[in-house]
Amino acid sequence: MFRNILVTYFIIASACAMQLEYLKDDSEELLDRTLNEDLLMTEEQPVLCLICKHIIEKVKHHLGKHENAEKIKKELMTLCDKSGPVKRMCKEMVTNKIDILVKELYTDDDPKTICAKADLCKSVRELELI
């Protein structure tokens, strides 16, 4: 009896694990399809803003503002390589905004301000106007 229950449990657990794996694959496909160049043109740009704030925060934490521009550029691209499903979008964003991001990383501005200056996030002033 116990053996039958155990076998049934393993069969059900296997089926659930397979279903979860299919759902994971489907959600990654959907994410890859929806997070594309079209988001670069959206008015609010919420995804780009989040990506920007995340990588700027990491660069500020790891490097500091006394690093040379080439090291900062390399670190930005390295962080994009590690950003999973938004890797391509991150690299495009960094490539398009590299000069302003590097320039702003030499300031004491926080990540939100830096990304707003790069037109990747809405500034506090813009949000007040809405």
15-64 pLDDT, tens digit per residue, is: 555 555 545 544 444 444 444 444 444 444 688 999 999 999 999 888 86
* Confidence grade of residue 128 (pLDDT, cut at 50, 70, 90): very low
C-alpha–C-alpha distance, residues 36 and 28, integer Å? 13
Q: So where are the chain's domains?
A: 1-34, 41-129
Domain topology for 41-129? NK-Lysin (1.10.225)
Residue in the structure block whose two tokens are 């160049």: 37
pLDDT of residue 74: 92
pTM (2 d.p.): 0.60
63-111 pLDDT, tens digit per residue, is: 866 788 899 999 999 999 998 899 999 999 999 999 999 999 989 899 9
Q: How many CB atoms lie within 10 A of CB 55?
A: 24
The candidate with the shortest Cα–Cα distance to 122, out of 49, 37, 40, is 49
